[in-house]
Amino acid sequence: MDVLDWILLVIRWAHALGAVAWVGGGIFYLMVLRPAFRRASPAPGVNRAIGQEFRGLVNTAIVVLVVTGAILTASRLTLDTVTMPYVAVLVVKVALALYMMAVVRFRRPRDVTDDAQPAGRGTRIREILTGPTALLVIGVIIFGLADVLAAMFEDSLVR
Contact, 153 vs 90, CB < 8 A?
no
pLDDT higher than 90, residue 12: yes
pLDDT higher than 80, residue 119: no
* pLDDT reported for residue 110: 59
d(Cα 12, Cα 19) in Å, to the nearest integer?
Answer: 11
Provide the residue ranges of all domains of the chain, joining segments of one domain with +.
Answer: 3-158
Q: What is the mean pLDDT of the chain?
A: 88
User: Which of 96, 110, 88 is closest to 34 using CA atoms?
Assistant: 110
Contact, 83 vs 156, CB < 8 A?
yes
CA atoms within 13 A on the CB side of 89: 18
d(Cα 25, Cα 20) in Å, to the nearest integer?
Answer: 8
Give the helix, strand, coil percentages of the chain, each rounded to 5. Answer: 80, 0, 20
Q: How confident is the model at residue 23 (pLDDT cuts 50, 70, 90)?
A: very high
The average pLDDT across 43-63 equals: 86
User: Which of 43, 17, 22, 18 is closest to 132 using CA atoms?
Assistant: 22
Contact, 72 vs 12, CB < 8 A?
yes
Stronger pLDDT, 108 or 14, i.e. the higher one: 14
d(Cα 102, Cα 40) in Å, to the nearest integer?
Answer: 32
> How far does Cα 60 stand from its chain's mean position?
12
User: Dmax of the chain from CA atoms?
Assistant: 61
